[in-house]
Each structure stands twice: as C-alpha cells, then as structure tokens.
Amino acid sequence: MAERERRGNPPYGGSFVARTRVMNREDLIRAIRRMAHEIIERNQGLADVVLIGLQTGGVAIAGQVADDLADIEGSEVPLGKLDVAFYRDDIGIRPVLPEEVTDIPFDIDNRTVVLVDDVLYTGRTIRAALDALGDYGRPRSVQLAVVVDRGHRELPIRPDYVGKNLPTRRDELVDVHADGVDLGEIVK
C-alpha cells in the first residue's frame, strides 16, 4: 500500500525515509499468525475460504497467511492475487499503471473471500477490489485482513482482521516490509 500511495500522491517520486519502526520482524510474524487463528475461528474452519492478496503489498502477506493457515489447520487454502488498477476511482487523475497481472485461478462463487492487504488507509482500494471481485463472481461473503489500519477512512469500509491499529498524520506513510513495519515520510 505504501508503494501505491507513494506513486499516487504529490510529490510524485521521491524516496521514503523511515522515522520509526513501529513493528519489528517478530511483531509482524506474530501478528500475522494471530490473524490466521482469527480467520479460522471466525469462519469455524476453512471450508470454502479463499485468500486474495491485493497488489502489491498484500500479495506477500497473503502468502504468509496461507502458509500459517496450512501450518495450523493442515489444509491448503486457495490463494490468488488481484490488481485493482482498472477499478480505481482516480483513473485519469493520478498516474495509474497496474503491476502484476491478476491471477485468480479458482471460482469465487459462494466462497468466503478474505481480501488481504498490507495497509488500510482511505478504503478506496478496498472499494475497487470489491468492484473487481464482482466481475469474477458472487462470493458468499467478503472479509478484510490488513497488517496495519492507519485511520483516515473516506468510505464506510472496516477491516475484520487487523495486525496493528496505528494512528497517523496524513503526511506520513506506512511501509510494511520483510523486516517489519516503518512509519515515515516522502522526501524529494
């Protein structure tokens, strides 16, 4: 999510400078593990549950969640990835180019889709993802798992599973990566 935002907000380009490490590697691994447990608990098992990671930041996280679910329950959950570039509400206003090709190699009709992203911010990306899912089928329900909820919602979207609630200022950015989560800003 941080990457997408960096590209989409002025000053375009520039580089991210971390100011604080809000979660270290162990914190991150534990948070993801906890969310995996919560998914199993909330859905009373993993029957008809599928995971879809949002490009780009959510894909790796979804992979981690899938690994944890397999480890805990012993079953493989179908895993897909979704690029919502074509469903965004700011096409033509901001630079928009999709990254990796969407790959949802399974049917989502009547399934419980757990969308996975790294950072939840305004909620617009999730709104776009819901529209995109509608063009792939009709899920029984859609749930949302995010590593960080940084507030500042602009749409009525709420997460079902949260790694960490992190109040932020609008000019700050959150970067989720392999070694943890940083809070910082863009410097040009």
**Amino acid at site 136:** Y
Q: Are 121 and 172 in contact (CB under 8 A)?
A: no
138 contributes a contact to another protein by CB under 8 A: no
Q: Output the smallest distance, CB 131 to another protein, in A.
A: 7
12 contributes a contact to another protein by CB under 8 A: yes
CA distance 40 to 175: 27
Using CB under 8 A, which of 31, 35, 51, 87 touches another protein? 87
109 or 179: whose CB is closer to another protein?
A: 109
φ/ψ (deg, to 5) at 141? -160, 160
68-77: Cβ within 8 A, 24+ apart: 68/32, 68/33, 68/36, 69/36, 69/39, 69/40, 72/36, 72/37, 72/40, 73/40, 73/45, 73/46, 75/46, 77/46, 77/49, 77/50, 77/51
Q: Output the smallest distance, CB 82 to another protein, in A.
A: 11
181 or 186: whose CB is closer to another protein?
A: 186
- Taken in order 146, 6, 103, 121, the sign of the CA dihedral is positive
187 contributes a contact to another protein by CB under 8 A: no
71 or 89: whose CB is closer to another protein?
A: 89
Among 69-77, 86-94, 145-153, 154-162, the segment contacting another protein (CB under 8 A): 86-94
Using CB under 8 A, which of 24, 45, 86, 140 touches another protein? 86
Q: Are 112 and 141 in contact (CB under 8 A)?
A: yes
124 contributes a contact to another protein by CB under 8 A: no
158 contributes a contact to another protein by CB under 8 A: no
Q: Where does this chain bind another protein (CB under 8 A)?
A: 7, 10-14, 83, 85-87, 91-98, 101-103, 131-132, 135-136
